[in-house]
Amino acid sequence: MLQDYTPILVMFLMSLFVPLFVISLSAVLGPKRGSKRKLAPYESGMEPIGPAMRRFPVKFYVVAMLFILFDIEAIFFFPYALAFRDLGLYGLGVMGVFLVLLVVGFVYEWKKGALRWD
């Protein structure tokens, strides 16, 4: 049983090995002649100002939160997708009710302006 998966394991190891090999090859073989200009973060352009980890606006959080909710609620469609032939009309009706509830949540956040960006 488990042996059936050996090709996948081999494939996985190969795909891990090839990029590692190529990257390390270029690092070993490539010439390294650094100068002050070359070692700067940007060879041409501005010196970086301030740290890259900036505080970003709270609205990203709001969108992320809403995304999590709708993304996770879609989880209930997976069992339905597996069994929808057997469930027939009954299952369709139940999932319809579930979808209506999702839409209610969506309409709510829309009207509340949570989706407006500015």
Partner 1 sequence: MISAVPLEWVLILASGLFCVGLFGALSRRHAVSMLMGIELMLNAVNINLVAFWRYTQPDEVGGMIFALFVIVVAAAEAAVGLAMAIAIYRTWQTVNVDSVDSLRG
Partner 2 sequence: MPPEIVIPAIDVRVIAPMLTIFAWATVLLMVDLFMPGKDRKLTGYLALAGLAVTALVTLAVQPAPGTSRTSFSNMVVLDSFGTTLTLILLLIAAFSIAISINYLSYHNIEMGEYYPLILFATGGMILLGQSTNLILVFLGVELLSITLYVLTAFFYPRYTSEEAGLKYLLLGAFAAGFLIYGIALIYGGAGTLDLFEIGAFLNTSLAVGSAFPPGALLVLIGGALVLIGFCFKISLVPFHMWTPDVYEGSPTPVAAFMSVGTKGAAFAALLRILIVALLPFKIYWLPVLGVLATLTMLFGNIAALMQPNMKRMLAYSSVGHAGYITIGIMTAGTHGTESFLFYLLAYALANMGAFAVLITLERRGEMAWSVDDFAGLWKRYPLLAIAMATFMLSLAGVPPTAGFFGKFFVFAAAWEDGQIFLVFMGVLSSAIAAFFYLRVIMRMFMDEPVREVIPIFNRGLTITIGIAVVGTIVFGLLPTPLVSLVQNSVIALGVGG
Q: What residue ranges bind partner 1 (CB under 8 A)? A: 1-2, 58, 61-62, 64-65, 68-69, 71-73, 75-76, 78-79
Q: How far is the CB of 69 from partner 1 (least distance, A)?
A: 5
Q: Closest CB to partner 2 among 46 and 89?
A: 89
Question: Which of the stretches 3-11, 29-37, 66-74, 107-115 binds partner 2 when contact is defined by CB under 8 A?
Answer: 107-115
Q: What are the structure tokens assigned to 32, written together? A: 């390294």
Angle of helix 58-73 versus helix 77-111 axis, rounded to 10: 140
Ramachandran region, residue 88 (left: φ > 0; alpha: ψ -120 to 50; beta: rest)? left
- The entry of partner 1, partner 2, none near residue 108 (CB within 5 to 8 angstroms by kind) is partner 2
Q: Does 107 bind partner 2 (CB under 8 A)?
A: yes
Q: How many CB atoms are closer than 10 A to CB 97?
A: 8
Q: What are the structure tokens assigned to 7, written together? A: 């090709």
Among 43, 47, 71, 86, binds partner 2 (CB under 8 A): 86
